[in-house]
Structure 1
Amino acid sequence: MVKRPSKPRSVPLRKSQPPDLKGGRRRSRDPEQPALPFDPMPDRIEPCLALLKSSAPSGPDWIFEIKWDGYRLSVHLDHGQVRIITRGGHDWTHRFPTIQAAAKVLPVGTAILDGEAVVLDDIGRSDFSALQQALRGRIGKRSAEEAIFVAFDLLYFDGHDLRNLEQESRRHLLEDLIPADGGIRLSQEIEGDGPAILAAACEHGLEGIIAKRRDEPYRSGRGGEWVKVKCIQSEGFAIIGYERSTAAFGGIGRLLLAARKDGQLVYVGGCGTGFNERSATDLRKQLDEIVIDKPAVDTGRKKRDAVYVRPVLIAEIEFRAWTADQKLRHSSFKGLRDPKDNADIYRLFD
């Protein structure tokens, strides 16, 4: 078993400013760590997914981190060759040149890092809309070079598959590998108890926190080893149409949205805010290519000036709450999820 540090490297979540996003100082690897048998390097690993909860867990069995708002990726390093793979298994290496360059100089021959590609705002918070602008590749204020990789797990290291090691041991090895700054950074462990950390994260305007069971191995899928708790809810919804408006950007007065329930899409209301001229114009062009005659989902009362589309585009929607009849409240458009990101459509439960 990997020797654990005598004192876990973590940081308090201060109330005066957002948490430091830089990785901690490097330490020399422990020469007493036992040699492990060599394992073949996986071509791809299905990610461990966090289970959404309404309240933060408590107690010493949990490790807490910030929840990052970006694209889930794995970085594969094989003796100087880098592949950056999306959650859906697509190769996006060319889309993240800064991350690719940072991976090439990591002090390791082979590794698989699990983490999130993000673009940070002026005070160090991840900004999903800014990341989307970077990935569009447009000439403007942002470019793909601004995206960095926040690493929160190490799945393969120097010829060894680490998935059967417990979370704390994998994190110890990850801390030793990640430099203090640059295109790949460490998602730091936050000291404290879950409810207090969540309250501080929300006070800082962060999306939420992730809690991970300290002694669990890495398991693909949504098994409950990782838990996410959000300050403001943000989920993916299928776009099933829009209502026209002559006054709104792109002529989109309100998006019509759907979630999944019992394996079927169901209407969950609309979203009329969060657009700017560029995002609305780009979205309108994509919607005009998938127009259909009748709604794919029953929307109840007939919508005035509605245009219906095939439900193939997934919008990331931020919202505050649900109505009693399961409609979104105070919703705002954050951007489109890329189909290759393999994003989920939100699931409703009775």
Structure 2
Amino acid sequence: MDEGSGRLGVSVTLKGKNQPTAAREAQRDDSSFLRRRICCAMPLAFIAPMMPMLVDEPPEGDEWTHEVKYDGYRSQIIIDKGIRIFTRNGKDWTQAYKFLAEDAASLKLKSAIIDGEIVVLNDRGLPDFGSLRSAIKARPRDLYFVAFDLLHFGGKDLRQTACEERRNILRGLIPAGKHIQFSEAIDASAAEVYRMVDAADLEGMVSKRRDSTYRSGNTYNWKKTKCYSVDEYMLLGVEREAGKAAFALLADRETGEYAGSAFITLERFKREELWARVEAKPGEPPDGMKPRPAALWTKPGMVMRVKHLRGEEMLRHASVEDFWEE
């Protein structure tokens, strides 16, 4: 066996601490070279996002950082031999986000995977989720990508790097004045941040452990705390079943479209007043409404004041605070 074939044979067959030093070094060099070649040859792939768990109160402590929760579409920008932008479910929406893809190209990065949220702003400069879908088609140059995490950069997978370090690298990659912007952490206590985002009429906040690694799926290393809004809805009917909580079935007052349900947690005399009104004015279910066997439908005319989580397409964590005839 000549020197070349002997080296190849050793690198394949010998393992562990008894392996000659030169052979071990050669094996490491070969495998490292191979990994680099494979990494360079393969395009970067979509990574399922890390999702914060919903909590009632934001966590306090120096181990946490806090950011605004932007009300938009969770998205991922992948930069390698081109620019691709994916939805949170891994669908390629690059064509819909051409302007943002151009902005990503102007960053002049060779390889990166950036996690963030696509938003459109209202006249007050706040994210407007209700206008986002139409803005994607009608005014795509008004879209912004708010970047908050970096999963891959310069040929390196950063998911095992601490969150704070990943974000520090990301901050240095994004210049000011573009439609790709960095989500800055707010230097204040959790309670103070919550008061600020609530007063600003924002959706809520996200708290992240400084040392957290990036793992796809739900995690308590990231926690989201949402703010509440109080709005008026039209009563469509109620659902009452023995041994279960009662719900009000509600519609948007402007469009008449079904908006979701809300817990009826009123005082007893108010609940009885509501039951009497529903029974006295029976109605029909809205057109296109799926069958709900436990529902008692009522005629229009009753307005409900409802407290609910801000920034949701349908009512969530909602409760009825009061009602009256229109």
Return the match for 2:189 from 187, 190, 193: 193
Structure 1, gaps ≥5 residues long: 1-36, 235-251, 259-265, 281-290, 306-314, 331-350
Structure 1 residues 257, 67: CA separation in 2 closer, same or farther (over 3 Å shift)? farther
Structure 1 residues 198, 274: CA separation in 2 closer, same or farther (over 3 Å shift)? farther
Say what the alpha-carbon RMSD is for the aligned residues: 3.1
Q: Is the 8 A contact 2:58 2:207 kept in 1?
A: yes
Structure 1 residues 43, 319: CA separation in 2 closer, same or farther (over 3 Å shift)? closer
Structure 2 counterpart of 1:52, one-letter code: L
Secondary structure (helix, strand or coil) at the match of 2:201 reads coil
1:209 corresponds in structure 2 to 205
Q: Quick one: distance in 2 between partners of 1:179 and 1:173?
A: 12
Secondary structure (helix, strand or coil) at the match of 2:159 reads coil
Give 1:207 shift. 1.2
Give 1:121 shift. 2.2
Structure 2 counterpart of 1:298, one-letter code: P
Does residue 317 of structure 2 align to residue 316 of structure 1? no
After superposition, give the CA deviation of every residue in 1:192-223 in whole Å (9 maximum; x if it has no partner): 11011101111111111110010010011112
Structure 2 counterpart of 1:322, one-letter code: S
2:214 corresponds in structure 1 to 218
1:70 corresponds in structure 2 to 72
2:252 corresponds in structure 1 to 272
If the length of structure 1 is used for normalisation, what is the TM-score? 0.60
Structure 2, gaps ≥5 residues long: 1-34, 240-245, 258-286, 301-311
Does residue 169 of structure 2 align to residue 167 of structure 1? no
Return the match for 1:295 from 290, 293, 297: 290
1:9 corresponds in structure 2 to none
After superposition, give the CA deviation of every residue in 1:326-350 in whole Å (9 maximum; x if it has no partner): xx989xxxxxxxxxxxxxxxxxxxx
Structure 1 residues 329, 233: CA separation in 2 closer, same or farther (over 3 Å shift)? farther
Structure 1 counterpart of 2:131, one-letter code: A
Q: Is the 8 A contact 2:65 2:185 kept in 1?
A: yes
* Number of aligned residue pairs: 237
Q: Quick one: distance in 1 between partners of 2:203 and 2:318?
A: 15
Does residue 183 of structure 2 align to residue 181 of structure 1? no
Secondary structure (helix, strand or coil) at the match of 1:170 reads helix
Give 1:87 shift. 0.9
Q: Is the 8 A contact 1:233 1:319 kept in 2?
A: no
Q: Is the 8 A contact 1:47 1:87 kept in 2?
A: yes
1:103 corresponds in structure 2 to 104
Q: Which has the larger radius of gyration?
A: 2
Q: Quick one: distance in 2 between partners of 1:87 and 1:329?
A: 37
Q: Percent identity between the aligned chains?
A: 33
If the length of structure 2 is used for normalisation, what is the TM-score? 0.65
Return the match for 1:44 from 43, 46, 49: 46
After superposition, give the CA deviation of every residue in 1:63-82 in whole Å (9 maximum; x if it has no partner): 11000000000011113x11
Give 1:303 shift. 5.1
Structure 1 residues 216, 320: CA separation in 2 closer, same or farther (over 3 Å shift)? closer
Instruction: Report runs of 4+ in structure 1 exceeding 3 Å deviation.
Output: 37-42, 252-258, 273-276, 294-299, 302-305, 318-321
2:135 corresponds in structure 1 to 134
Secondary structure (helix, strand or coil) at the match of 2:206 reads strand
Structure 1 counterpart of 2:114, one-letter code: L
Structure 1 residues 44, 255: CA separation in 2 closer, same or farther (over 3 Å shift)? farther
Q: Quick one: distance in 2 between partners of 1:208 and 1:166?
A: 24
Structure 1 residues 320, 204: CA separation in 2 closer, same or farther (over 3 Å shift)? farther
Q: Quick one: distance in 2 between partners of 1:115 and 1:321?
A: 27
Structure 1 counterpart of 2:314, one-letter code: I
2:91 corresponds in structure 1 to 90
2:21 corresponds in structure 1 to none
Q: Quick one: distance in 1 between partners of 2:108 and 2:254?
A: 42
Q: Which structure is richer in relative contact order (CA contacts within 8 A, separation 6 or more)?
A: 1
Secondary structure (helix, strand or coil) at the match of 1:224 reads strand
Give 1:149 shift. 0.3
Say which structure is richer in helix: 2
